[in-house]
Amino acid sequence: MPLKLFSQTNLIECGTDEAGRGCLSGPVTAAAVILPADFKNKLLNDSKLLSHSSRERLRILIEEQALAYAIAHVYPKEIDEINILNASIKAMHLAIADLNITPQHIIVDGNRFKEYKGCSHNCIIKGDSKYLSIAAASILAKTERDRYMTNLHELHPQYNWAKNKGYPTKEHRAAIKEFGETVYHRKTFKLLPSVIL
């Protein structure tokens, strides 16, 4: 089924989403996007369903065609201080605040959000596969965070963040066991399982 453009046609609406919530290292990254009323794209979908090359092509298109977009990070130290849910919402708020157009309504991927400056909002489960602006935000957040982790890989290649992007893969956990944690790891996350076989 094609993704919808807007949930509210009479308001300036932005979609927002985050990437990296389940990672052991690196920031949680959010994006906010306001699309034009005539925006169409058959390939745009949840970033998790797209290949790397498709995401990169769509990123360029979104940045060219969006009325406004912004991306924000919240880093591991703050994630550990305020927890990952609050950090994810904060990253979304920071991205929305950085838009050069003020939205009147926000559609959010997922089921949790906090009111932003009195602006109305809707939480939408699997919103990134239902609304184009949320899908666009998911692509910008994912591609920006992937770039960040690929750059971090140069500092600590032993964790192979260029490939795993900080997610809890067997390889990443084996590297944590061998080399320990870095300042880029989230200390409140379970970096290692109780038993590694």
Write the secondary structure of 95-137 as one string of H (helix), E (strand) and C (coil): HHHCCCCCCCEEEEECCCCCCECCEEEEEECCHHHCEHHHHHH
Contact criterion met (CB below 8 Å) for 2 and 43: no
Distance CA 48, CA 52 (A): 9
pLDDT of residue 94: 98
- Amino acid at position 183, single letter: V
Q: How many Cβ atoms sit within 10 Å of the Cβ of residue 153?
A: 18
pLDDT of residue 197: 41
Q: How many Cβ atoms sit within 10 Å of the Cβ of residue 188?
A: 12
Classified by CATH at the fold level, domain 13-144 comes out as: Nucleotidyltransferase; domain 5 (3.30.420)
Query: Span 131-143, mean pLDDT?
Result: 96
Domain layout of the chain by residue ranges: 13-144
pLDDT of residue 8: 83
Q: Residue 51's pLDDT band (boundaries 50, 70, 90)? A: confident
Q: Residue 194's pLDDT band (boundaries 50, 70, 90)? A: low
The values of phi and psi at residue 54, to 5°, are -65, -40
Query: Span 15-20, mean pLDDT?
Result: 97
pLDDT of residue 196: 46
Summary mean pLDDT of the chain? 93
In sequence order, what are the beta bridge partners of 73?
29
Query: Span 70-81, mean pLDDT?
Result: 97
Quick one: DSSP state of residue 158? G
